[in-house]
Amino acid sequence: MSTKTKTTPWSDVRAKRPVDEAAVADHVARMEAEERAYRLREIREEQGVTQKELADRMAITQPTISALEAGDLDRSCLATLKSYVEALGGTVEVTATFGNRRLVLSPLN
């Protein structure tokens, strides 16, 4: 004896649970911030620099470095991010975008 299973089309399932686009955008933004922070940590680790050593170079606390590397880039001031990058020997380029027009604002002193 065969048993027939009733299937529901995907479009019907999605209609009952609409996507919250704002929530998706928030999650994507957070994921992107965490990825950028992870890349900074990778560079620091490749150079063999500890969070404490980097904090000392920047004259800030190690927990501040930890917060940056955990993805708190959006809440960090530009000067702190610039200091982080420069303490590892890098440079920061700041670009303002206005539609399809871009204006490079760096170097910032």
Q: pLDDT tens digits for 20-46?
A: 899 999 899 888 888 988 999 999 999
Please give the share of the chain, as a percent, with pLDDT higher than 70: 92
DSSP 90: -
Give pLDDT, residue 30: 84
pTM for the whole structure = 0.68
Query: H or E stretch including 17?
Result: none
Q: Give the residue among 89, 80, 96 at the shortest CA–CA distance from 37.
A: 80
Rounded (10°) CA dihedral 28, 30, 33, 38: -100
In the predicted structure, residue 109 carries a pLDDT above the cut 60: no
Q: Report, as an integer, the average pLDDT of 6-18.
A: 86
Q: pLDDT tens digits for 68-85?
A: 898 876 677 888 888 999
Q: Average pLDDT over the chain, rounded to whole?
A: 87
- Token pair, residue 71, equals 């993805």
Question: Model confidence at 10, in pLDDT bands (50, 70, 90)?
Answer: confident
Residue ranges and CATH numbers for the domains of the chain are 24-104 (1.10.260.40)
Please report where in the chains the tokens 């919250």 appear, as a residue: 20
